[in-house]
Structure 1
Amino acid sequence: MPVAVILAPVFPAGSPPTRWGSWTAWAVVLFQGIVGTFSHVWYYRGVRDVGPSVTAIFMNLQPLVGVALAALLVGETVGPAQVLGVVLILAGVGLTTRR
C-alpha cells in the first residue's frame, strides 16, 4: 500500500490503459520465476551442506560461467583479457580449495 501511495502521482488516472503483454511474455516470466526459485533453493541448500566459506570461494566462478555462456550461446569472442581472467579465477579457486 505505501508503494501505491508514493507512485499514485506518477501515474495519473487519465493515463493510457496498461498493456499486459502477450502470452509468450507471461510464459517467459513464469519460467524465470520457477527457475529462479529453484536455483535459490539449491544455492541455500549448498550453503547449508558445504558451509558459507566454501560457497563464497565458488561464487568466484560466476564470471567464468558468464564468459563461457556468452561465447557458446551468443557467439561473443573471448579476448585475451577474458582468458587471463579465467586463468586467475581458476588459480584463485584452486589455491583456496587445496588441502
Structure 2
Amino acid sequence: MLDNGTVINKRMIESPKSFQVACTVMTQIIAQVASSQYGGQSIDIRHLGKYLRRSRDKYVAMLEDVISSKAELSQTVEALMAKELASGVQTIQYQINTLMTTNG
C-alpha cells in the first residue's frame, strides 16, 4: 500500500516521498483496517526504512549546493534525519494511542 499508493476514503494517496508522510499514511491505513475488523493488529515497521532513505536523499539534494563541506553536510543531514525520525515515531504513537473504532 505504501509502495504503490492506496485509496483512503475514496481518495488516491500516492506513495510517500518522505518518512514523516509514510508514518502518517501508515497510521491512516491502520485506522481503516481497525475500523473493519475485531481484534488486535500487528504492523512491521521495516517497510518504513526506504522512506527514511528518501528523506535523507531529499535533504542531501536540498543542502549539497548550500553546504560545501562534506563533514558539515553530513552533520546537518544527520541532525535533520534525527528530527524526522523522532517526529515520525511520535506521529505513529499519537495516532495509534488515540485510535477509536466501533469494534474495540
**Normalized against structure 2, the TM-score is what?**
0.28
Would you tell me which structure has more strand in proportion to its own residues? 2
- Rg (Cα) greater in structure: 1
Q: Which has the larger share of helix? A: 1
